[in-house]
Structure 1
């Protein structure tokens, strides 16, 4: 039997991580053919994934945060090959928030994360496909707008280096007194909503922005996206969003939010609206988002909370 062939696409910020180096060394010692490619600029992931496929690699591993995961998943997703032909996807969580990994129970320790990929067969993974301004974007975890997006965009990189995921909480609390609702019209199968919202989540995964669980029931293999709209609520905004920022409590969502599970969603806004796709901001007045069922295969833990069955 041929040894497994892996390609680790590592975010340049983690290139000097001693724990990653040791985990890679140990994996090679177990007979895994593991090569590493380090990303430094836009387009690197695209090139490295194409190279991996050309080399006949079995598994491509995203080494970084949610943005790196989405970038690698996007590069795999927009190829012509079907999921059973493409390499499987693994995740080595090395970002600030690691929202997807946290919700999926993927270990943060590099050696444990690589052993998970080795021991667990790949499972079907849905992806979100978003069309805006005549372009196609992909998202592995969650697309967010309104309050959550502003928190993510405004959080200082230095603050994230200092405080980790807590930086999102600090930034979120600093915004509570200056929240402006976003006007939009949403439409999906047997669903229509129009008004001003403070936060919008369209999830394949469950949380973003350092633990904001906007889509707490989302599953990554059910062919549906979970939509959560938190409308403009006069008088109770600060208290409600304070609860959400501090942990995404389900009780707060149930009390204030419109929630649906849909195969697709269209968003129309009178003014340009920013959606954050796992760290990639996309600005448009019209969006169409579809859940592409079982577009990839990913190595996930036993009894992963994001898996339907």
Structure 2
């Protein structure tokens, strides 16, 4: 029987996390599993708690949204620890990519019985973060600005906060000249955004990279090139089902190591990873094949 350590960050949606965990923890305990709960002071501390629990042979549960999933999964990547997820955030995009059930009883059964599956992760290198790991995606451009707006919204939640955040971001957006180096080959593109995706989903369930797979040893690079702003909003709407990739303004490439730069931009351009935006370009993303053991 598995021994679980559930990590919650009270400062980042902890109440929602606790509410999501309670019915699952009850069913895990009723089945005979041991469940302890660790409250972190920050996302960094959450990663430290996860490593400590993993070193003891416990199964670590990341309770929260994509930021918590990314931080805990990133901390455990490259170790033998097993990670499970209790989605309790705004987007829950990595949990969606794993196909996790939403119903507590079904998720509890999965956490008890599923065999660990090995999935890829993304290693990141930038000036502010010389050695970090993400799980789902890295994105630079208007979507990073939109996500920052959504994360700081006090009035809106979920997809509504993302749409309003995107409206604000696009209204003031000017096209950016990106320099991309993919597995040593450099190309220039001008447009709205570049997304390096390990998962198909980002931005509250949008299928930004429909062909991306968590275990194929590759990263999908989605480029939304320069176009009239009205077309960009059409592309945003098509992200719901992934049909945007059929537009000529959208280009999809693949690679194992991708560097994103915006050398002509006077002001630094933000980039985000797993729903968190706290750094600026340039950034290098490389695939870490089969780096994380997850219950899915």
What TM-score results when the alignment is normalised by the length of structure 2?
0.88
Q: 1:217 aligns with which of 211, 224, 234?
A: 211
Contact 1:266 1:289 in 2 (8 A): yes
Look up the match of 2:180. 186
- 1:238 paired with 2:269, answer no
Residue 268 of structure 1: aligned partner: 261
Question: In the alignment, is residue 152 of structure 1 matched against residue 155 of structure 2?
Answer: no
| Deviations 1:4-34 (CA, angstroms, capped at 9, x unpaired) | 1111112323347445213212211101111
* Alpha-carbon distance change, 195 to 55 in structure 1, aligned in 2, over 3 angstroms: closer
Mind listing any 5+ residue stretches in structure 1 that lack a counterpart?
301-309
Distance 1:242 1:35 in 2: 46
Give TM-score scaled by structure 1 length.
0.85
Q: Which residue of 2 aligns with 1:132?
A: 126
1:4 corresponds in structure 2 to 2
Asked whether 1:291 is paired with 2:293, we answer no
Cα RMSD (Å) of the superposition? 2.2
Q: What residue number does 1:36 align with?
A: 37
Partner of residue 47, structure 1: 48
Q: Which residue of structure 2 aligns with residue 118 of structure 1?
A: 112
Distance (whole Å) between structure 2 residues aligned to residue 285 and residue 94 of structure 1? 29
8 A contact 2:197–2:209 mirrored in 1? yes
Alpha-carbon distance change, 149 to 120 in structure 1, aligned in 2, over 3 angstroms: same
Contact 1:223 1:292 in 2 (8 A): yes
1:231-275 per-position Cα deviation (integer Å, ceiling 9, x unaligned): 112x3x323333424644433222121111111112222142321
Structure 2's unaligned 5+ residue stretches are none
Cα displacement (A) at 1:282: 4.7
Q: Aligned residue for 1:305?
A: none
Query: Is the 2:6–2:36 Cα contact (8 Å) retained in structure 1?
Result: yes
Q: Distance in 2 between matches of 1:97 and 1:213?
A: 12
State how many pairs are aligned: 287
- 2:250 aligns with 257
- Asked if structure 2 preserves the Cα contact closer than 8 Å seen for 1:169 and 1:210, the reply is no
C-alpha distance in 1, partners of 2:42/2:14? Answer: 14
